[in-house]
Chain A
């Protein structure tokens, strides 16, 4: 009987304790929303420090069902850091939209715990537990504005479809367990080969479940409705944070337990990738609601990330991680701009409301311009480098068709991004937006715009960080 290595799961333990004590705090102290959200932000920051203090060598604990390696540390830091910024930038929105209930930050914290468990999981059971914890929290978040019909509809829709996906995922897990005799990733990898047809069947189910979570086509139907219906602060959260955990689990699944049957899953991932890129580019063209447009945009972006994943190489993983990081920065900025679209404390979501923004708010318009061109992948902005690394990896393994389709869809998607720029810069101005920007919102918007703009000066900073990441 070995001692339980608490030291390795300090961040998880800390977050659990924080969730429970914040819940108590919220229950016993009246009108404590401000205090609770402040403490949430502080505990996220503290959790980042704890994660960064974890040992850098690979550690597998709890009977090899939980792993701490560079990939998990990087992804956990991303999750916590961007969750912190999301909370900071949505403060004003939460206050004005009557969702400043203590449950809000606590549920977010609980879903973060679930994601962190997912990221570190090295076992099907642990993975599923983490997934369910985060999914249940997300259902509640989607329908958080209870009195609003659209929000309730979004929550219900998300719940029904996501439960189905989880069911498929669980079915896939049980098939894998049945045909390989283990739930441990490494044992699965040794027992899995192409002759093992039943297990390959299980892989398909697992990929379907994961594809649902990152909203890859054809399992994307929920995301435009959920993005549009949820409160914008929740949409912001959905667009950023769950993607990190899902992508990281996707990487872990494909490269550890399933690496021996790469020929079986590669074609599926390529299909998902191409379909997502095309739908993400084409379907967004007609959108008028900016949140709906961001939903299609993130579908397209996930398509590019999957293209990197499909390569099956280490460069592929690194490019996916870089892509994800830059995607997060850009979307943080984009939603920051969306949060700024308010007149007299009423928030607007229509693209036409941005009309003539450059006249009334030149600085805001300029940062929106940078973010949109970056999302479109125009050099020398950060978004270009994200795509560049992906296509480096894709062309290395000679998937020219994938690369060319990907780049052509870039052009199509550039159309709807520059359509927004047209509204901002070329159209006639409307009434100006409010100027009482929240401090946290301003910080996160400025930070993301500057990072996007100056990334080209020293692009090695991210590649150096990522280059040491390998998947075990």
Chain B
């Protein structure tokens, strides 16, 4: 197929953003038109990515839909291409973006035009991260996301938005600059930043450790891993609902994707060497942040800490380097993308109505918002990994993978599962059940039509992939097997070299 479908998917939101940027006229008309343009571009992008999935060939582990254009005087080319792993992330991104736009249209009260531009630009940059097959292009998209996200938090955020936006920006920037040094070093060591060629050839072992650490510093901040996770609760709490959804559902996944694609693919020896470090940090993240989540009285903060814990599972799965673990971590990322988006939207629903995120402001919501109570329950149960929801599939596989590598890690991670159940159910009980203690919330209305559609689509996907996750496995299966084979081959190649 000659049609550059990946470029189209990446740049359609940007074109939409440009159209919104140039619309002029009466404020009311401009806002209405911008909304239509944003909805139209993001939805058409979603359908285009479904089309991409349809054309996607499950039977090969090679990169597909490859595009290459001369870009920087020939030595760095604009290369795009996807395999099974990136395919799922693209779908997740194009699915979440319209949800953000729908929710933003309802809850954002001022500068709606700028907000839609920021979200669409953000979508372009996130898709670019998952499609790029050149380290420099990857870095460009990865870092470019800072600008719109900084503005989304800073302009439309809550009372402490300036502090949170600065913290988010500086933390992630500091983490990423080391990755830039590593990328340039790779260019001078191997003569290329082309990912396909780097995956084939081997980066010399003596360089791998430092390069791995440089990439790790960037991904660990973005993921986020303990102890550099502190920007996340602040950013989540202060960001508007749509911003939190993007952050939790996609931005964090960029780091997980980076671990799989780059840390494992390019530096197998170093990955093997540093696996204990990852396990220790992930276990601390799971148990410590779950305990912190138990103590939160702010709903968004609680969900933010639970994100850190869930991402701890993801890193354990990735570095267990077993097929179950890796597939589990990808499924976990997908389902966390859906569930955390759903939970943040749930908080957004009551926040839009009563303007409080405190758990203590609510209680007894089931009496006035029965529909809301139902969807919130489904998402709560999905978050704690109830069988039948997509959360279970991921968590279960991760634990199976971890068990093969290290029993202690698996046992400690299972404690996390219990803690998640504890704080999620407690949250649900305090917000939904009980008597209405706060008379002011009696005025709150139940879900409106748009919200019902948004939640229905999320509930459907979470339950569907909980019962029938096969389409997801089909897509990633061969790519994951190939990744593990390459990894083992590289590892034994280096071991042979050492022994001789």
Contact = CB atoms under 8 A, between A and B. Distances in A.
A404 B178 contact: yes
Contact of B177 (A410, A460, A464): A410
A422 B185 contact: no
Contact of A378 (B146, B184, B188): B146
B170 A414 contact: yes
Given A408-B177, A414-B173, A460-B72, A392 B184 contact: yes
Interface in B142-193: 143-144, 146-147, 150-151, 154-155, 161-162, 165-166, 169-170, 173-174, 177-178, 180-181, 184-185, 187-188
B155 A425 contact: yes
Given A395-B184, A407-B177, A463-B73, A415 B170 contact: yes
Contacts of B170: 411, 414-415
A388 B178 CA distance: 13
B288 interface: no
Given A379-B140, A422-B162, A426-B161, A407 B178 contact: yes
Given A411-B177, A418-B150, A460 B71 contact: yes
Contacts of A373: 147
Interface in A419-472: 421-422, 425-426, 456, 458-460, 463-464, 467
B470 interface: no
A315 to B, nearest CB: 10
Contacts of B173: 378, 410-411, 414
B70 interface: yes
Contacts of B143: 378-379, 384
B120 to A, nearest CB: 15
B181 A380 contact: no
B139 interface: yes
A426 B150 CA distance: 11
Contacts of A467: 73
B185 A460 contact: no
Given A378-B147, A404-B178, A410-B177, A418 B73 contact: no
Contact of A425 (B151, B184, B187): B151
Nearest to B117: A366
Given A391-B180, A415-B166, A459 B72 contact: yes
A395 B147 contact: no
A135 to B, nearest CB: 37
A404 B181 contact: yes
Contacts of A378: 143-144, 146-147, 173
B347 to A, nearest CB: 23
Nearest to B70: A460
Nearest to B72: A459
Contacts of B151: 425
A414 B169 contact: yes
Prevailing SS type, chain A contact patch: helix
A175 interface: no
A415 to B, nearest CB: 6
Interface string B109-123: 000001000000000
Nearest to A362: B114
A148 interface: no
Contacts of B165: 422, 426
A464 B73 contact: yes
Interface string B123-147: 0000000000000100111011011
Nearest to B181: A403
Given A392-B184, A422-B154, A425-B155, A456 B140 contact: yes
Interface in A379-410: 379-380, 384, 388, 391-392, 395-396, 400, 403-404, 407-408, 410
A388 B155 CA distance: 29
Nearest to B214: A404
A421 B170 CA distance: 14
Nearest to B154: A426
Contacts of A421: 150
Given A422-B154, A463-B73, 20 more contacts: A378-B146, A379-B139, A388-B184, A391-B180, A392-B184, A392-B187, A395-B181, A400-B181, A400-B185, A403-B184, A410-B177, A411-B174, A425-B151, A426-B161, A426-B162, A459-B71, A459-B72, A460-B74, A463-B72, A467-B73
Interface of B: 70-74, 114, 136, 139-141, 143-144, 146-147, 150-151, 154-155, 161-162, 165-166, 169-170, 173-174, 177-178, 180-181, 184-185, 187-188
6 contacts: A378-B143, A378-B146, A407-B178, A408-B174, A411-B177, A459-B73
The 10 closest A-B pairs by CB, nearest first: A407-B177, A463-B73, A379-B140, A460-B73, A395-B184, A411-B174, A379-B143, A426-B154, A380-B144, A380-B140
